[in-house]
Chains A and B, each alone.
Chain A
Amino acid sequence: MPSLIEAKGLDVYRQGKEILKDVSISVNKKDFITIIGPNGAGKSILLECLMGTFSPDRGEINKKDNISIGYIPQNFNPDNSMPISVERFLMLRKKIISEELRVISEETNIFSILSKKLSNLSGGELQRVLLARSLLGNPELLILDEPAQNLDIKNQLNFYNLLNQIYLKRDISILMVSHDLHMVMASTKQVICLYHHICCSGEPQAVAKDPEFISLFGNDMAKMMSVYQHTHDHSHNENLND
């Protein structure tokens, strides 16, 4: 089956520095890929290359014809100087019917805040609104750039749970940049560890053991992930015994 997006050998230079070096990635149907990497590793640029909003200096990107992509940008901070309601923001430049808006509002639990002002939302509410907007038009792929970055731990968990529900319910692929690997481990199928080039990639468990991963994130992160794995295996076995 053809990929939704396939990128081969992407190179990006900025001010003489190599931001991306020979990065190849492919996103297929029903994939759930999490990209991790230190700050300045080129994660956001990679997402922008894949969406086509930034052109790489070298490399080739193939997308499925007429692919529709939903996107949540990093650090979305609505300015208080513009009065705009959540509902108006969702409809901005979108041709949607009220039925779709209703369904998605319920799916993302924002129905009660549709008339609120965008700049008055709490962090968790705002991310749910962005998620709702990215889902309008029924995209095949969601590209999320650190969607839970500015949330407290409770809201982070809620957001990732919601995202996982949407992933399970819809026929959708997810490509996400996130530092909260311990939280997204359960749903992530593939982890890509990026530091200008792809250091390692694979299933979360395998990546955590990779020497390149340990050298990039240190033993603590690797340990944290294996702690998670333990609890995961545990509950998994319990389910088997039931």
Chain B
Amino acid sequence: MIEPFLIRAIIAGVGVAIITGAIGCFVVWRRMAYFGDSLAHSALLGVALGLVLGISTNLGTMIICSVFAILLIWLQQKKFLATDTLLGILAHAALSIGMVTLSLLERSVDLHSYLFGDILAVTNHEIYLIFFGGIFVIIFLFYNWSSFVLTTINEKLAKSEGLNTLLNQLLIMLLMTIVVAVSFRIVGLLLITSMLIIPAATARQVTNSPEAMAVVSSILGICAVMLGIYLSLHLDTPSGPSIVVASVVIFISVLFFTSLRKN
């Protein structure tokens, strides 16, 4: 019989894979990998905030990540420093303040599980969050898909057709914050970017349209989660890194076979 913790892990993992796969395409298209990484770093401050205020750490993460995204867009508009510099400052400031705050708290925190995730210890409450957050993200993406894609292809063209590109940019970032906030317990803050990028980058090799890339990316993410959980159980390896290893293996295999086919 399958253990309940395993069923929870699979459900949570599939949910996370679906949303990270879809939003991950925008991360790849818009070159937001470093943004995703920075967002995840700042999530640690969110965890600290959640613990200090006695609210859920996911909510704390969502608040901090949203503030982070808005602060970044505001600073970007000022154009006085390059985006990657701004991200570096914001991310490491948030990470360090988060760490300092956590160390000041009069209770022990399992830092390791925040950094590298622990899908096998996922709770029902976290599963609800993943699914409510996930459904919201998917519906939002679905209804704004063409606008987001056109904005991504060329902002000026999108603007000329009456789209509010700044708003679209902000919305994509906010969707990413939701994804990070609900899914960081699965693969961890340090590895969440890989769930955003690797399945999408793998899907890029085998698809011909943006929509197909998003769907295939989600499917590949699910495969990686399943394979990762299997590895983790049988080899007793940490679950987050095992999922990432699985998605890298899939990436390399697809790369190998597509280049084989081309030759």
Tell whether A and B belong to one assembly: yes
When chains A and B are docked, how far (Å) is the Cα of A81 from the Cα of B28?
7
B213 within 8 Å of A (CB atoms):
yes
Given the complex, which residues of B lie within 8 Å of A84, measured CB to CB? 149, 153, 209-210
Give 1 or 0 for each of A69-81: 1 = CB within 8 Å of chain B CB.
1010110101101
**A143 to B157 alpha-carbon distance, docked (Å):** 11
Name the CB-closest residue of A to B206: A83
Q: A91 — nearest CB in chain B belongs to which residue?
A: B146
- Quick one: given A73-B154, A73-B156, A92-B146, are A85 and B161 in contact (CB under 8 Å)? no
Residue of B whose beta carbon sits closest to that of A54: B159
Is B208 a contact partner of A85 (Cβ separation < 8 A)? yes
A83 to B149, CA, bound (A): 11
A-B contact count (CB 8 A): 59
**Nearest CB in chain A: distance from B213 CB, A:** 6
Q: Does A232 contact B (CB under 8 A)?
A: no
Give bound CA distance, A81 to B153, whole Å.
Answer: 10
Contact A88 B157 (CB under 8 A): no
Contact pattern, A 48-90, Cβ under 8 Å of B = 1, otherwise 0: 1001010000000000000001010110101101111100110
CB of B160 within 8 A of CB of A53, answer yes
Distance of A81 from chain B, by nearest CB (Å): 5
With a cutoff of 8 Å between Cβ atoms, the chain B residues found around residue A69 in the complex are 160
The answer to whether A83 touches B210 (Cβ under 8 A) is yes
Bound-complex Cα distance A93 to B152 (A): 13
Question: Which chain A residue shows the least CB distance to B205?
Answer: A83
Segment 200-246 of B: residues with Cβ below 8 Å from A = 204, 207-210, 212-213
Residues of chain B contacted by A117 (CB below 8 angstroms) = 208
Contact B147 A83, beta carbon cutoff 8 Å: no
User: Once bound together, how far apart are the Cα atoms of A51 and B29, in whole Å?
Assistant: 27
Given A53-B159, A88-B209, A93-B161: A82 touches B146 (CB 8 Å cut-off):
no
Within the complex, what minimum Cβ distance (angstroms) separates A209 from chain B? 35
Residues of A within 8 A of B254 (CB): none
**Contact status of A83 and B161, CB under 8 A, knowing A73-B156, A92-B150, A93-B147:** no
Chain A contact patch, size range: 20 to 34
B146 engages A79 (CB within 8 Å): no
| Chain A residues with CB below 8 A from B161, complex form | 71, 93
Shortest Cβ distance from B181 into chain A, in angstroms? 25
Cα distance A69–B160 in the bound complex, in angstroms: 9
Q: Are B146 and A51 in contact (CB under 8 A)?
A: no
B residues less than 8 Å from A48 (CB atoms): 156
| Centre residue among A76, A84, A85, A118 by max chain B CB count within 10 A | A84
Q: How far is the CB of A75 from chain B (nearest CB, A)?
A: 9
Select which of B150, B152, B160, B213 is within 8 A of A83 by beta carbon: B213
Cα distance, A84 to B29, chains bound together (Å): 11
Docked complex Cα distance between A64 and B149 (Å): 30
Inter-subunit contact A71/B153 (CB<8 Å): no
Assuming the contacts A92-B146, A93-B161, asked whether A82 and B29 have C-beta atoms less than 8 A apart, the reply is: yes
Residue from the list A51, A81, A92 in contact with B204, Cβ < 8 A:
A81
Shortest distance between the CB of B203 and any CB in chain A (Å): 9
Q: Is the CB of A71 within 8 A of B157?
A: yes
Known contacts: A51-B160, A73-B157, A83-B213. The answer to whether A92 contacts B149 by CB under 8 A is yes
Which B residues are in CB contact (< 8 Å) with A85? 208-209
Report whether B160 and A81 are in contact in the complex, using a CB–CB cutoff of 8 Å.
no
Bound together, the chains give a CA A117 to CA B209 distance in angstroms of 9
User: How long is the Cα–Cα vector from A143 to B160 in the complex, in angstroms?
Assistant: 10
Q: How many angstroms from the CA of A89 to the CA of B153 in the assembled complex?
A: 9
Distance in Å: Cβ of A60 to nearest Cβ of chain B: 21
Please give, as numbers and ranges, the residues of chain A lying within 8 Å of B156 by CB-CB distance.
48, 53, 71, 73-74
**B157 neighbours in A (Cβ, 8 Å):** 71, 73, 76
Instruction: For B153, list chain A residues within 8 Å (CB).
Output: 78-79, 82, 84, 89, 92, 118
| Chain B residues with CB under 8 A of A143 | 160
Please state if B210 and A82 are interface contacts (CB–CB under 8 Å).
yes
A interface residues with partner B (beta carbon < 8 Å) = 48, 51, 53, 69, 71, 73-74, 76, 78-79, 81-85, 88-89, 92-93, 117-118, 143
Contacts A78-B153, A81-B28 known; 12 new A-B pairs at CB < 8 A: A53-B156, A71-B156, A73-B154, A73-B156, A74-B156, A76-B157, A78-B154, A81-B204, A83-B208, A83-B213, A84-B149, A85-B208
Can you list 12 A-B pairs with a CB-CB distance of less than 8 A?
Answer: A53-B160, A71-B156, A71-B160, A73-B160, A74-B156, A78-B154, A81-B204, A82-B29, A84-B153, A92-B149, A93-B150, A117-B208
* 8 tightest Cβ-Cβ pairs between the two chains A and B: A73-B156, A71-B160, A53-B159, A93-B146, A82-B29, A81-B28, A81-B29, A92-B150
